[in-house]
Structure 1
Amino acid sequence: MLTLKVLSLLLSYPEAEMLTALDEMAAVVEREKLLQEQHQQAVLTLIESFRNADLLDLQEQYVALFDRGRFLSLHIFEHVHGESRDRGQAMVDLLQMYEARGLELSSHELPDYIPLFLEFLSQQQQDEAVDLLRDAMPVLSLLGARLKERGNDYHAVFDALAGFAGEPEALDDIRLQAATEGEDRTLTDMDRIWEEEAVSFMGAGNNCQSQAADVSPITITPRDQFAKAQNRSL
């Protein structure tokens, strides 16, 4: 499923190598036809937007969009656990899943970095990739909705993933949140934001222990169940 690899590259920090591979990337998307037609065309349009662009401008825009706040962070568990200890265990579980399937990380990226996650999925069987991606769709759909609210073409990647794996049940609530949450004040008001906007995206099983390799480390616990569990722990 090289199309998922293409989506991974589109969400990665722009490099000269990617710009030289735009024709190949577009050809993969057209040949595999893994995406729904409207999403395929939107992804091809995004690829086309990189042509003749200045690399430094692309890199500056990328950093401003994805690296200067929490709302559009490309690290899945940042939207789930914030800086809590649960995030560290979730990282360990995800890394163990990668290793159990023969993937050894050679970069300095954290395992929940979305481009890395998509690259991993591109190497799996399609039904397994869909199952794993579906677990992450509440976060990915929120990112897509936030990008769409900003009028940014990167939303095409997240729309394509939703078409491929299926939209989350709470999509209407996700879109409403993106439309009404206001500006990203993470850097100036982080403590209050995390308290008010905590997202439940917890690993299956006991969060204090590593999970078995065949259990998805990104299984979702509904928000109300998470709140009840938090209250019981107090």
Structure 2
Amino acid sequence: MSVLKLVGVLLDYPREELWQHGGELLAACDEVALTPPRRRQLRGFVQQLLDSDPLDAQAAWLATFDRGRSMSLLLFEHIHGESRDRGQAMVDLVETYRKHGFELDARELPDYLPLLLEFLAHQPQSEAREWLHHIGHIAGMLAARAAERELPHVPLLEILVEAGDGKVNLEALRQRASEEPRDDTAEAMDKLWEEEAVRFGAEAPAEDCKPPTRSPARPVHREVQP
């Protein structure tokens, strides 16, 4: 299993199949082309996951990646936000997948990071590195926010930064993350939903084609086939 495939699996919503194949995941941690410290970190992450109850792990994933926007694994959330450009970016990315012989499940958003990593795991190393270089700042910011929140996903995201080119200034991003207000608190979530309340008539925003801005409450299994 390539390192990108492995990191993608570990960042994805933890379904019960992970516990059924725990031994394979642990073995994969020892086989990936990383430094010994990084392999130990991956193994530690997997072991911690396997030692947890699946329902607890799933609830923790939702609390981490599905509350607020700052830890979203939807890449265009960080690039385009609410901009109309996001819809076109989605279309372009789907077309890129298709040109490489991949078809997405109709329920999956193309900018979901674990999905992109699965795609990149099938591409030449130079192309995968270029993609990771372009999203390096996003991965670095996610790593910095994860560190600020004392989440176990930090090494997974830092590995992506390193796989791109490793030139992202993680220290500067950690400082920025430490100064950011949290957007996953109950108060922040209440305010967000108030702002996104459906409006009708003259007050309705003209954004008929705006794509969804957050991952589904229960992520679906992705089906990307070469």
Offset, 1:67: 0.3
Q: CA deviation at 1:84?
A: 1.4
Shift of 1:96: 1.2
User: Cα deviation per residue 1:45-79 (whole Å; 9 max; x = unaligned)?
Assistant: 10010123211111111111110110101100101
Q: In structure 1, what is the equivalent of residue 13 of structure 2?
A: 13
Rounded Cα–Cα distance in structure 1 between residues aligned with 2:143 and 2:168 = 15
1:173-195 deviation line (CA, Å, top 9, x unaligned): 3222112112116635559xxxx
Cα distance change of structure 1 residues 77 and 168 upon mapping to structure 2, 3 Å threshold: farther
> SS at the partner of 2:79?
coil
- For the 8 Å contact 1:130–1:164, the answer to whether it is kept is yes
Task: Measure the CA separation in 1 of the matches of 2:103 and 2:31.
Answer: 29
- Whether the 8 Å CA contact 1:36–1:160 is kept in 2: the answer is no
For the Cα contact (< 8 Å) 1:43–1:160, is it kept in 2? no
The correspondence of residues 1-234 of structure 1 with structure 2, limited to 5 A, is 2-32=2-32, 34-106=33-105, 108-184=107-183, 187-188=189-190
**What's the CA shift for 1:37?**
2.6
| Mapped contact 2:140–2:173 kept (Cα < 8 A) | yes
Q: Secondary structure at the match of 1:72?
A: coil
CA positional deviation for 1:41? 1.4
Query: What TM-score, normalized to structure 2?
Result: 0.78
Structure 1 window deviating more from structure 2 (147-156 vs 100-109): it is: 100-109
For 1:24 and 1:92, the matched residues in 2 are separated by: 35
C-alpha displacement of 1:36:
2.8
Provide structure 2 residue ranges, at least 5 long, that are not aligned to the other structure.
Answer: 194-226
**Aligned with 2:135: secondary structure?**
helix
Mapped partners of 1:74, 1:18: distance in 2 = 19
C-alpha spacing 1:190/1:36, structure 2 compared with 1 (3 Å): farther
What is the distance in 2 between the residues matched to 1:141 and 1:169? 7
For the Cα contact (< 8 Å) 1:36–1:163, is it kept in 2? no
Indicate the larger mover: 9-18 or 98-107: 98-107
Structure 1 range deviating more: 41-50 or 100-109: 100-109
1:26 is displaced (CA, Å) by 2.1
How many residues in Structure 1 have an aligned counterpart in Structure 2? 191
Q: Is the 8 A contact 2:76 2:86 kept in 1?
A: yes
Distance in 1, Cα, partners of 2:18 & 2:190: 34
Return the structure number with greater relative CO, CA threshold 8 A, min gap 6: 2
Q: CA deviation at 1:150?
A: 0.8
**Aligned amino acid, residue 35 of structure 2:** Q
Paired amino acid for 1:130: R
TM-score, with length taken from structure 1: 0.75
Check whether the contact 2:140–2:161 (CA below 8 A) recurs between aligned residues.
Answer: yes
* Aligned-partner Cα distance in 1 for 2:37–2:51: 24
Alpha carbon RMSD of aligned pairs, Å?
2.0
